[in-house]
Structure formats: C-alpha cells, structure tokens
Structure 1
Amino acid sequence: MKYKIKNEKVVFNDHYQMLKAEVSYDTFDGKQFETKRLAFHRGDSVALLLFDTDSRSVLLTKQFRYPSTRHDVGWMLEIPAGSIEEGECPLECVKRESIEETGYELHQPRQLFHFYVSPGGCTERCFLFYAEVTSKNKIASGGGKQDEKEDIKIVELPVEDIESRLQNTIIDAKTIIALQWFQQHITP
C-alpha cells in the first residue's frame, strides 16, 4: 500500500507548529482516497522511568499542565520527560532532562521502546527509557529550568503503591505504559 503527501505547509507557527497537507493513500479495498489533513507538529520527546534502588521508589514529577485543565486537571503526576532539541539524540536528551527535572545523573539508561503519542493528529514520537539510580547519583536540585518557567516537584512512588496509583491517580499515558512495563519486568 502506498501514500503520497502533497502541498504540505505550516499553517500555524509558534512554540509548536500546525501542518496542513493534501494526502492520498491506498485503501484496504484497493481504491485510493484523497483528502486534506492537519498535524500538530511539536517534535520528538523522551520519557524516563527512574527507579531509586535505595528507597525502592519510582521517581515521578508533578507539574502544571495547561491542556489537561480542559478536563479540570491542573497538575499532572508523570514520569520525567522533555522535548528533543535540534541535533540532539534521544540518549543525550534523556540524560539532560533527568538532571534538569530530577537532579539525577544517569549512567547507562536503557531505551525500552518508542511510540507515537497520538498518531491520528500529532507527529510526536516518544522514546521511553529506564534507569536505576541511588542517592549517589543526585548531583543537582532538579525542579526544572527557571528560564523555561518550569516548576516541577519530585514525588517518590514506593513500589508497593504503584498498582493503587495506577487505578486511582495516574492518568498520563506514557506514565501508565512505563509503570506497567515496570510491574512486568522489574518488580517481583
């Protein structure tokens, strides 16, 4: 099956972009479909499942998220994450974001997989990593970058509380994916 993208252009350009294009693609019944589509373009990102082996806790962040206020949720509990900068690889980005958001220096983070955040409307791919740390890895205060107006609180989630938090508190998709992976592969 084939597709063709024509006349793609940026129709909104601010912190993020909105793209518009004419697309044609083969259908499953052997025909061809032509239409116009929009895509929210924000670049790729990384996310990090950070396990503190000293406290046997997963380190989460809590911060204000404007888009979720549409559903009366202002502060989101989630794993550390951030946007990949131009020329930066996912591994470099996850190391930078870990220090910025949590203050922990990473040694040998492992990429678990990557996935599309919302493929029906967004170009973003998220590269999910896992790393283990101890108190010796804490080299900075974390909390986010002041020049980006980040205000991030670090929250320790004990391993034994993961299941109840997944049922009641955690509503961020990348965090759900990461914690379910953790339950299957790391915890007994």
Structure 2
Amino acid sequence: MKYTIKNERVVFNDHYKMVKAKVTYDTFRGNKIETERLAFERGNSVAIVLLEKETESILLTNQFRYPSCKNNDGWLLEIPAGSLEENEKPEDCVQREVLEELGYKLASATLLHTFYTSPGASTERIFLYYAEVSAKDKIEKGGGNSEEDEDIQLVKIPVAEITSKISKMKDAKTILALQWYLLNKISS
C-alpha cells in the first residue's frame, strides 16, 4: 500500500508547529482516498521509568499541565520526560531531563521502546527508557528548568504501591511505563 503527501505547508508556528497537507493513500479495498490532514509537529521526546534502589521506589514528577486543566486536572504525576533539542541524541536528552527535573545523575539507561503518543494528530515519538539510581546519585536539587518556567516536585512511589496507584494516574506514558515495570520487573 502506498501514500503521497503534497502541498505540505505550515499553518501555525509558535512554540510548536501545525502543518497541513493533501494526502492520498491506498485503501484496504483497493481504492484511493484523497483528503487534507493536519499534523501537530511537537518534536520527539524521551521518558524514563526510574527506580531508586535503596527506597525501592519509582521516581515521578508532579507538575502543572495547562492542557489537562481543560478537564480539571492541573497537576499530574508523571515519569520524568522531556523534549529532544535539535540534533540531540535521545540517550543524552534523558540524562539531561532526569538531572533537570529530579537532580539525579544517570550512569546509564536502557531503551525499552519507541512509540507514538497520538498518531492521528501528532508526529511526536517517545523514546522510553529504564534505569536504576541510588540515593547518592542525587547530585542537584532538581525541580525543573527555571528558564522554561518549570516547577517540578519529586514524588517517590514505593514499588509495593504501584498496583494501587496506577488506576489514579492520568498520564498515558506513565501508565504504560508502570505497566511495563509490573510485567517485567515484579513478575520476573
């Protein structure tokens, strides 16, 4: 099956970008569909499931999210995450974000999976990682990047409480990551 993209143009350009294009693609019945589509070009991101070994806790962020206010959820618990800068490698970005948000220095991180967050609307892919840290790896205060007006609180969820807390989570990447942890680290 094939597709073509024509007349792609930027229709909005601020902190993020919106593009519009004419798209023609093959159907499962052997026909073609020609239509216009929009894509939110947010850029790619990283996220990480982070275990602090001494406390047997998953390290999360608690931060204000304007878009989720539309549904009365101003602050969300999330795994650490952030956007890739231009020409930045995902493995460098995840180290930078963990240091900025939580103050921990990562020795290494393992790539688990790459996935789309909302493929019907956004081009964003998330590179999901896993790492373990020690309390001695906390070398900075964290709290986010003040130049980006971030105000991030570190929250530690004991591994024993993940199952009871996961149903209260609102962030998809966090739910996915915690389910991965339960399936691969608890049941193994």
TM range (shorter): over 0.9
Deviation string 1:116-153 (CA, Å, 9 cap, x unpaired) is 00000000000000000001111111100001100000
1:178 aligns with 2:177: yes
Residues 29-68 of structure 1 aligned to structure 2 (within 5 Å): 29-68=29-68
Distance across 2 between alignment mates of 1:58 and 1:157: 5
1:69-148 to 2 correspondences below 5 Å: 69-148=69-148
SS in 1 for 2:104: coil
Task: Give the AA of the match of 1:128.
Answer: L
Aligned length: 187
In 2: Cα distance, 1:105 partner to 1:45 partner = 19
Q: Per-residue deviation at 1:108?
A: 1.6
Residue type matched to 2:169 in 1?
I
Quote the RMSD (CA, aligned, Å).
0.6
Letter in 2 for 1:113: H
Report the identity percentage.
57
Could you tell me how far 1:187 is from its partner in structure 2? 1.8
TM-score (norm 1): 0.98
Segments of 5+ residues of structure 2 without an aligned counterpart are none
Matched residue of 1:123: which SS? coil
Deviation at 1:104, TM superposition (A): 0.6
Alpha-carbon deviations, 1:80-124, whole Å to 9, x = none? 000000010100100000100010111120000010000000000
- SS at 1:94's partner residue? helix
Question: What letter corresponds to residue 61 of structure 2 in structure 1?
Answer: T
Segments of 4+ moved more than 4 angstroms: none
Give the TM-score of the pair, scaled to structure 2. 0.98
Q: Deviations over 1:22-59 (max 9, x none)?
A: 00000000001000000111100000110001100000
Structure 1 runs not aligned, ≥5 long = none
